[in-house]
Amino acid sequence: MNLTMGQLTDTMIERLRDESGACGDLEQVKICERALAGNKRARRECLKVINAARAMVPWWKITSRAGVDYGVYPGETAREAFEAMVRDAGGQYGDEQSGTESDWIIARAV
């Protein structure tokens, strides 16, 4: 599930910068700073790193039982992906609105 340049956001780059800094990867921090300043080459480099990290985690397509697609979310398990979707929506796992993963159609994304 690779992102394109059009999907890359400053928030994603900021998160990469912060996580890189926490791990001591100061070179990546500098690249992220240049990307945030508008450097296109640095943004492409950040996109490569983000896509490589995204490839390490399975992605799951979540669809309601009524057939409405709710998106694709990362998670080691279907439940983790479902919990990510619920968090994004501001809900709570198991509540009346969200239910649990058994109330939804969750399949590995290609």
pLDDT digits (tens, 9 = 90+) for 28-56: 999 999 999 999 999 999 999 999 998 89
Q: How many residues does the structure list for the chain? A: 110
Answer for the pair 74, 54: CB distance below 8 angstroms, yes or no.
yes
Nearest CA-CA partner of 53 in 84, 102, 15: 15
**69-74, strands of its sheet edge to edge:** 69-74, 59-64, 104-108
Whether the predicted pLDDT of 12 surpasses 90: yes
Whether the predicted pLDDT of 1 surpasses 80: no
| Global confidence as pTM | 0.63
